[in-house]
Amino acid sequence: MYKKITAFLAVLAASFTFFSVTVHASQNDGTKLIAHRGYSGIAPENTLAAARLAGEHGFDACEFDVWPTADRVWVVMHDDTLDRMTDGTGAIADKTLAELRTLRIDAGNGIENYPDEKIPTLNEMLEVCKKAGIMPVIEIKNGDAENLETLACQLDASGITDKCTVISFERDCLIGMRRLRPTLDLRLLIGKVTKESIAFCVKNKINGISCNYKSNLPHRYKPLRESGLKMTAWTVNDLANANNLTDQGFEYITTDALVPGTVNARGEHSVKADITTLLLRIWDKVPAFLKNALKGCGVAS
């Protein structure tokens, strides 16, 4: 009985979220949207398919995560291991590119529609972003000095050094990239915005901060705005917060569940809730017994 009540409340909360997001009209034409791990609401995260879809749906930028392999090739994956997203197992750092190429992406949203995706290399992802006309937002998860040098050279070779953003939680990686490329756009990833993190960016010529908006009350953004650093927020999945953050001076919003809407005369797009992604997110939260019951009476499949 207790479990059923909890389930009922979960569905009620999900419905309320759905309702409030759907009815909240977008007010900020010009909010720039970063597709988090590509358009990962409808294709498996961090794949070429997800990047292509981000371009087709009018996102301004495509975020993805990169790790170096054992033979020092940068590849695209969120986790440091292969287990969650592929039919392989173990750490990326222990595998060569040739070994990774034998694997298949076998998890993620819409996997049934994208059965042939492989782990992309950084180069492949950059080429897709270039063709799609969207800015790559490259999150360095880790890497030593030699790997950073390789990454900088790859950006140069793709002609993208001044047309991308590199982000990282790893301060040493940002400092290393700044030493290598003085004009590259760099952003520090953090949870809470602090005076210390702002001072770090200013001192090391890091262009901006990308923060978890859930870890911050609005007063934390004042010193950030005043510092002149660029402001990005992650991962914002409802219109009310997206609009609020844009009003507070955020340049980019990273999202799993918002999509570009109509385009105005200045070429700026509005922002709207992505109903397909939203329904999938709500469905994910429905307890198994309720899913089975709905399937059993033909309401869901």
Which residues form the interface with Ca ion (CB under 5 A)?
Answer: 65, 139
Nearer to ligand G3P (CB atom), residue 79 or residue 127: 79
Nearer to ligand G3P (CB atom), residue 63 or residue 117: 63
Query: Minimum distance between the CB of residue 129 and ligand G3P, rounded to whole angstroms?
Result: 15
Query: Minimum distance between the CB of residue 137 and ligand G3P, rounded to whole angstroms?
Result: 7
Kindly state the helix (H) or strand (E) to which residue 293 belongs, with its residue range: helix 288-296
Q: Name the packing angle between helices 48-56 and 122-132 (round to 10°).
A: 10
Binding mask 106-145 for ligand G3P (x = CB under 6 A): ---------------------------------x------
Which partner, Ca ion, ligand G3P, none, binds residue 59 by CB below 5 to 8 Å per kind? none
Q: Is 185 in the site for ligand G3P (CB under 6 A)?
A: no
The gap between the terminal CA atoms of the chain, to the nearest Å, is: 25
Nearer to ligand G3P (CB atom), residue 139 or residue 185: 139
Nearer to ligand G3P (CB atom), residue 142 or residue 150: 142
Which of 65, 185, 256, 274 lies at the binding interface for ligand G3P (CB under 6 A)? Answer: 65
Q: Which residue is nearest to ligand G3P (CB)?
A: 234
User: Is 213 in a helix, a strand, or coil?
Assistant: helix
Query: Minimum distance between the CB of residue 255 and ligand G3P, rounded to whole angstroms?
Result: 10
Q: What is the dihedral of CA 252, 257, 261, 266, to 10 degrees?
A: 0
Query: Minimum distance between the CB of residue 141 and ligand G3P, rounded to whole angstroms?
Result: 8
How far is the C-alpha of 21 from the C-alpha of 15, rounded, in Å? Answer: 10
Q: How many chain residues interact with ligand G3P (CB under 6 A)?
A: 9
Query: What phi, psi does 242 have (nearest 5°)?
Result: -60, -45
**Strands annotated E in 128-287:** 135-140, 165-168, 185-190, 208-212, 230-234, 252-255, 258-263, 269-273
For 109-145, give one letter per residue: b (16+ CB within 10 A) or e.
bbbeebeebbbbbbbebbbbbbebebbbbbbbbbbee
Q: Is 234 in the site for ligand G3P (CB under 6 A)?
A: yes
- Token pair of 183, please? 């004009």
Nearer to Ca ion (CB atom), residue 14 or residue 245: 245
Q: Is 189 in the site for ligand G3P (CB under 6 A)?
A: yes
Report which of 243, 288, 188, 254 is spatially closest to residue 25, judged by C-alpha positions. Answer: 243
Report which of 5, 14, 4 is spatially closest to residue 289, judged by C-alpha positions. Answer: 4
Q: How many CB atoms lie within 10 A of CB 187?
A: 24
The residue type found at 136 is: P
Nearer to ligand G3P (CB atom), residue 158 or residue 210: 210
Which of 48, 60, 63, 239 lies at the binding interface for ligand G3P (CB under 6 A)? Answer: 63
Q: Is 40 in the site for ligand G3P (CB under 6 A)?
A: no
Which partner, ligand G3P, Ca ion, none, binds residue 234 by CB below 5 to 8 Å per kind? ligand G3P
Residues within the interface to ligand G3P (CB under 6 A): 36, 63, 65, 78, 139, 189, 210, 234, 254
